[in-house]
Structure 1
Amino acid sequence: MSHFTHIKTRFQNLFYLEKALNRLDISHTEQEKSGITTYHKSLIIPQSNGYNIEFAWNGQEYELIVDMSFWEQPYPIESFIDKISQQYAGEVIIGESQKIGFQPIKYQQNADGSNTLILERWNNEKVMAKV
Protein backbone atom coordinates (compact mmCIF):
# COMPACT_ATOMS: atom_id res chain seq x y z
CA MET A 1 0.00 0.00 0.00
CA SER A 2 1.43 3.37 -0.91
CA HIS A 3 1.21 6.49 1.20
CA PHE A 4 2.07 9.67 -0.63
CA THR A 5 3.57 12.41 1.45
CA HIS A 6 3.25 16.08 0.51
CA ILE A 7 6.13 18.09 1.95
CA LYS A 8 5.86 21.87 1.92
CA THR A 9 8.86 23.78 0.60
CA ARG A 10 9.84 27.36 -0.11
CA PHE A 11 10.49 26.71 -3.80
CA GLN A 12 8.38 29.24 -5.66
CA ASN A 13 10.35 29.68 -8.86
CA LEU A 14 10.51 26.78 -11.30
CA PHE A 15 13.51 28.22 -13.17
CA TYR A 16 15.67 28.37 -10.02
CA LEU A 17 14.45 24.96 -8.84
CA GLU A 18 15.52 23.41 -12.14
CA LYS A 19 18.90 25.13 -11.95
CA ALA A 20 19.40 23.77 -8.42
CA LEU A 21 18.57 20.22 -9.55
CA ASN A 22 20.96 20.60 -12.49
CA ARG A 23 23.77 21.85 -10.23
CA LEU A 24 23.24 18.75 -8.04
CA ASP A 25 23.17 16.46 -11.12
CA ILE A 26 19.67 15.27 -10.24
CA SER A 27 18.02 13.99 -13.39
CA HIS A 28 14.50 15.35 -13.90
CA THR A 29 11.86 16.06 -16.51
CA GLU A 30 9.10 18.63 -16.83
CA GLN A 31 5.49 17.59 -16.94
CA GLU A 32 2.74 19.98 -17.97
CA LYS A 33 -0.44 19.89 -15.94
CA SER A 34 -3.64 21.77 -16.49
CA GLY A 35 -6.90 21.99 -14.67
CA ILE A 36 -10.14 23.76 -15.41
CA THR A 37 -8.68 27.19 -14.65
CA THR A 38 -5.00 26.51 -14.06
CA TYR A 39 -1.88 25.56 -15.96
CA HIS A 40 1.52 24.79 -14.50
CA LYS A 41 4.53 22.55 -14.83
CA SER A 42 5.74 19.94 -12.40
CA LEU A 43 9.23 18.50 -12.14
CA ILE A 44 9.53 14.73 -12.04
CA ILE A 45 12.60 12.97 -10.65
CA PRO A 46 12.47 9.41 -11.98
CA GLN A 47 13.35 6.47 -9.78
CA SER A 48 14.17 3.02 -11.15
CA ASN A 49 11.34 1.44 -9.12
CA GLY A 50 8.73 3.53 -10.99
CA TYR A 51 7.68 5.51 -7.90
CA ASN A 52 8.87 8.90 -9.05
CA ILE A 53 9.43 12.00 -6.97
CA GLU A 54 7.47 15.09 -8.00
CA PHE A 55 7.72 18.78 -7.32
CA ALA A 56 4.14 19.96 -7.96
CA TRP A 57 2.76 23.50 -7.83
CA ASN A 58 0.12 23.86 -5.11
CA GLY A 59 -0.76 27.47 -5.90
CA GLN A 60 1.90 28.96 -3.63
CA GLU A 61 5.00 26.79 -3.93
CA TYR A 62 6.40 23.61 -5.42
CA GLU A 63 5.75 20.95 -2.83
CA LEU A 64 7.54 17.63 -2.83
CA ILE A 65 5.27 14.64 -3.42
CA VAL A 66 6.80 11.27 -2.68
CA ASP A 67 5.81 7.80 -1.55
CA MET A 68 8.13 7.32 1.41
CA SER A 69 7.78 3.53 1.19
CA PHE A 70 9.60 3.64 -2.13
CA TRP A 71 12.28 6.30 -1.48
CA GLU A 72 15.30 5.31 -3.56
CA GLN A 73 17.68 8.24 -3.24
CA PRO A 74 21.21 7.86 -1.82
CA TYR A 75 20.41 9.99 1.27
CA PRO A 76 17.46 10.57 3.60
CA ILE A 77 14.66 12.85 2.46
CA GLU A 78 15.63 15.57 4.96
CA SER A 79 19.14 15.72 3.48
CA PHE A 80 17.68 15.65 -0.02
CA ILE A 81 15.52 18.69 0.69
CA ASP A 82 18.37 20.48 2.50
CA LYS A 83 20.73 19.99 -0.45
CA ILE A 84 18.15 21.27 -2.93
CA SER A 85 17.23 24.20 -0.65
CA GLN A 86 20.87 25.25 -0.35
CA GLN A 87 21.40 25.16 -4.11
CA TYR A 88 18.05 26.86 -4.75
CA ALA A 89 19.02 29.73 -2.43
CA GLY A 90 22.32 30.15 -4.27
CA GLU A 91 20.55 30.20 -7.65
CA VAL A 92 18.04 32.79 -6.42
CA ILE A 93 20.87 35.00 -5.11
CA ILE A 94 22.78 34.76 -8.40
CA GLY A 95 19.72 35.30 -10.61
CA GLU A 96 18.22 38.18 -8.68
CA SER A 97 21.62 39.86 -8.22
CA GLN A 98 22.27 39.71 -11.96
CA LYS A 99 19.05 41.64 -12.50
CA ILE A 100 20.62 44.60 -10.68
CA GLY A 101 24.02 44.36 -12.32
CA PHE A 102 26.00 41.93 -10.19
CA GLN A 103 27.96 39.08 -11.77
CA PRO A 104 29.03 35.90 -9.99
CA ILE A 105 32.79 35.51 -9.97
CA LYS A 106 33.11 32.55 -7.62
CA TYR A 107 30.79 29.71 -6.61
CA GLN A 108 32.49 27.12 -4.48
CA GLN A 109 31.23 24.19 -2.44
CA ASN A 110 33.21 23.92 0.78
CA ALA A 111 34.28 20.77 2.62
CA ASP A 112 31.77 21.48 5.41
CA GLY A 113 28.89 21.42 2.91
CA SER A 114 28.42 25.19 2.79
CA ASN A 115 28.78 27.22 -0.38
CA THR A 116 30.77 30.38 -0.98
CA LEU A 117 29.39 32.82 -3.50
CA ILE A 118 31.18 35.99 -4.51
CA LEU A 119 29.46 38.60 -6.67
CA GLU A 120 30.80 41.83 -8.07
CA ARG A 121 29.40 44.89 -9.76
CA TRP A 122 31.37 47.56 -11.51
CA ASN A 123 30.18 51.12 -11.61
CA ASN A 124 30.52 52.25 -15.22
CA GLU A 125 29.77 55.89 -14.50
CA LYS A 126 32.56 58.32 -15.29
CA VAL A 127 33.86 60.20 -12.34
CA MET A 128 35.42 63.59 -12.93
CA ALA A 129 37.53 65.35 -10.42
CA LYS A 130 39.01 68.85 -10.60
CA VAL A 131 42.41 69.24 -9.10
Structure 2
Amino acid sequence: MSHFTHMKTRFQNLFYLEKALNRLNIVHKQEEKNINNSTSELYNVNLIIPQSNGYDIEFAWNGQEYELVADLSFWEQPYPVESFIDKVAQQYAGEVIIGESQKTGFQPIKYQQNADGSNTLILERWNNEKVIQNVSV
Protein backbone atom coordinates (compact mmCIF):
# COMPACT_ATOMS: atom_id res chain seq x y z
CA MET A 1 0.00 0.00 0.00
CA SER A 2 1.39 3.37 -0.94
CA HIS A 3 1.65 6.25 1.50
CA PHE A 4 1.87 9.73 0.04
CA THR A 5 3.80 12.40 1.88
CA HIS A 6 2.85 16.07 1.48
CA MET A 7 5.83 18.36 2.05
CA LYS A 8 5.34 22.10 2.41
CA THR A 9 7.43 24.40 0.25
CA ARG A 10 7.51 28.13 -0.43
CA PHE A 11 6.93 27.77 -4.16
CA GLN A 12 4.02 30.04 -5.04
CA ASN A 13 4.67 30.85 -8.67
CA LEU A 14 4.21 28.13 -11.29
CA PHE A 15 6.25 29.99 -13.92
CA TYR A 16 9.34 30.28 -11.70
CA LEU A 17 8.95 26.71 -10.42
CA GLU A 18 8.95 25.39 -13.99
CA LYS A 19 12.01 27.50 -14.85
CA ALA A 20 13.81 26.09 -11.80
CA LEU A 21 13.01 22.50 -12.84
CA ASN A 22 14.18 23.27 -16.37
CA ARG A 23 17.46 24.73 -15.09
CA LEU A 24 18.01 21.48 -13.14
CA ASN A 25 17.11 19.39 -16.23
CA ILE A 26 14.24 17.73 -14.37
CA VAL A 27 11.70 16.41 -16.86
CA HIS A 28 8.16 17.40 -15.89
CA LYS A 29 4.74 18.02 -17.36
CA GLN A 30 1.74 20.15 -16.46
CA GLU A 31 -1.50 18.59 -15.34
CA GLU A 32 -4.75 20.49 -14.90
CA LYS A 33 -6.99 19.46 -12.02
CA ASN A 34 -10.59 20.62 -12.11
CA ILE A 35 -12.14 22.01 -8.95
CA ASN A 36 -15.91 22.33 -9.03
CA ASN A 37 -17.59 24.80 -6.76
CA SER A 38 -21.11 26.19 -6.64
CA THR A 39 -20.48 29.29 -8.77
CA SER A 40 -18.01 28.19 -11.42
CA GLU A 41 -15.53 25.57 -12.51
CA LEU A 42 -11.95 26.35 -11.60
CA TYR A 43 -8.75 24.46 -12.14
CA ASN A 44 -5.26 24.23 -10.74
CA VAL A 45 -2.17 23.41 -12.73
CA ASN A 46 0.12 20.93 -10.99
CA LEU A 47 3.54 19.76 -12.11
CA ILE A 48 4.23 16.05 -12.47
CA ILE A 49 7.75 14.59 -12.47
CA PRO A 50 7.49 11.12 -14.02
CA GLN A 51 9.47 8.25 -12.50
CA SER A 52 10.17 4.98 -14.27
CA ASN A 53 8.52 2.98 -11.47
CA GLY A 54 5.16 4.70 -12.08
CA TYR A 55 5.14 6.48 -8.70
CA ASP A 56 5.38 10.02 -10.00
CA ILE A 57 6.32 13.06 -7.95
CA GLU A 58 3.90 15.97 -7.96
CA PHE A 59 4.08 19.64 -7.10
CA ALA A 60 0.42 20.18 -6.20
CA TRP A 61 -1.21 23.54 -5.54
CA ASN A 62 -2.83 23.56 -2.08
CA GLY A 63 -4.30 27.06 -2.31
CA GLN A 64 -1.20 28.78 -0.95
CA GLU A 65 1.83 27.01 -2.39
CA TYR A 66 2.99 24.09 -4.49
CA GLU A 67 3.64 21.27 -2.04
CA LEU A 68 5.66 18.22 -2.98
CA VAL A 69 3.55 15.06 -2.99
CA ALA A 70 5.35 11.73 -3.30
CA ASP A 71 5.40 8.19 -2.02
CA LEU A 72 8.84 8.27 -0.43
CA SER A 73 9.06 4.47 -0.44
CA PHE A 74 9.35 4.71 -4.23
CA TRP A 75 11.63 7.77 -4.48
CA GLU A 76 13.86 7.39 -7.58
CA GLN A 77 15.67 10.70 -7.72
CA PRO A 78 19.50 10.83 -7.57
CA TYR A 79 19.47 12.56 -4.16
CA PRO A 80 17.30 12.37 -1.01
CA VAL A 81 14.02 14.29 -0.92
CA GLU A 82 15.37 17.02 1.39
CA SER A 83 18.31 17.67 -0.96
CA PHE A 84 15.94 17.58 -3.93
CA ILE A 85 13.73 20.29 -2.39
CA ASP A 86 16.81 22.35 -1.44
CA LYS A 87 18.16 22.20 -5.01
CA VAL A 88 14.79 23.20 -6.48
CA ALA A 89 14.40 25.97 -3.87
CA GLN A 90 17.83 27.39 -4.71
CA GLN A 91 17.05 27.53 -8.42
CA TYR A 92 13.54 28.85 -7.73
CA ALA A 93 15.00 31.74 -5.70
CA GLY A 94 17.36 32.61 -8.54
CA GLU A 95 14.52 32.58 -11.06
CA VAL A 96 12.38 34.82 -8.83
CA ILE A 97 15.27 37.28 -8.42
CA ILE A 98 15.87 37.39 -12.18
CA GLY A 99 12.18 37.65 -13.10
CA GLU A 100 11.23 40.27 -10.56
CA SER A 101 14.36 42.38 -11.13
CA GLN A 102 13.71 42.43 -14.88
CA LYS A 103 10.44 44.22 -14.09
CA THR A 104 12.52 47.14 -12.80
CA GLY A 105 14.99 47.18 -15.68
CA PHE A 106 17.71 44.81 -14.51
CA GLN A 107 19.12 42.18 -16.85
CA PRO A 108 21.06 39.09 -15.80
CA ILE A 109 24.61 39.13 -17.14
CA LYS A 110 25.93 36.08 -15.29
CA TYR A 111 24.25 33.06 -13.71
CA GLN A 112 26.65 30.33 -12.76
CA GLN A 113 26.51 27.24 -10.57
CA ASN A 114 29.63 26.99 -8.44
CA ALA A 115 31.45 23.80 -7.44
CA ASP A 116 30.33 24.24 -3.81
CA GLY A 117 26.66 24.14 -4.87
CA SER A 118 26.09 27.89 -4.56
CA ASN A 119 25.05 30.12 -7.45
CA THR A 120 26.52 33.39 -8.64
CA LEU A 121 24.02 35.79 -10.16
CA ILE A 122 25.04 39.20 -11.46
CA LEU A 123 22.40 41.69 -12.63
CA GLU A 124 22.86 45.12 -14.12
CA ARG A 125 20.72 48.03 -15.19
CA TRP A 126 21.69 50.64 -17.78
CA ASN A 127 20.62 54.25 -18.09
CA ASN A 128 21.92 56.53 -20.87
CA GLU A 129 24.76 54.15 -21.75
CA LYS A 130 26.04 53.96 -18.16
CA VAL A 131 25.70 51.12 -15.68
CA ILE A 132 23.73 52.54 -12.78
CA GLN A 133 23.63 49.41 -10.66
CA ASN A 134 25.41 46.12 -10.69
CA VAL A 135 24.11 43.61 -8.15
CA SER A 136 25.66 40.28 -7.28
CA VAL A 137 23.74 37.70 -5.24
TM-score range, shorter chain: over 0.9
1:105 corresponding residue in structure 2: 109
2:3 corresponding residue in structure 1: 3
| Residue identity matched to 2:100 | E
In 2, distance between residues paired with 1:91 and 1:35?
29
1:46 corresponding residue in structure 2: 50
Could you report, residue by residue, the CA deviation over 1:49-102 in whole angstroms, capped at 9, with x for unpaired residues? 000000000000000000011001111001000000000000000000000000
Shift of residue 34 of structure 1? Answer: 1.1
2:123 pairs with 1:119: yes
Percent sequence identity over aligned pairs: 82
Consecutive unaligned residues in structure 2, runs of 5 or more: 130-137
In 2, distance between residues paired with 1:60 and 1:91?
19
| Residue identity matched to 2:18 | E
In 2, distance between residues paired with 1:65 and 1:115?
27
Aligned partner of residue 15 in structure 1, secondary structure: helix
Structure 1 ranges of 4+ moved more than 2 A? none
2:23 pairs with 1:18: no
Give the CA RMSD over aligned residues. Answer: 1.0
2:78 corresponding residue in structure 1: 74
2:37 pairs with 1:34: no
Aligned partner of residue 121 in structure 1, secondary structure: strand
Q: Which has the larger radius of gyration?
A: 1
In 1, distance between residues paired with 2:21 and 2:64?
20
Aligned partner of residue 126 in structure 2, secondary structure: coil
In 2, distance between residues paired with 1:90 and 1:35?
31
Q: Determine which structure has the larger strand proportion and give its number.
A: 2
2:63 corresponding residue in structure 1: 59
1:129 corresponding residue in structure 2: none
In 2, distance between residues paired with 1:73 and 1:113?
18
Consecutive unaligned residues in structure 1, runs of 5 or more: 126-131
2:135 corresponding residue in structure 1: none
| Residue identity matched to 1:124 | N
2:133 corresponding residue in structure 1: none
In 1, distance between residues paired with 2:128 and 2:47?
40
Count of matched residue pairs? 125
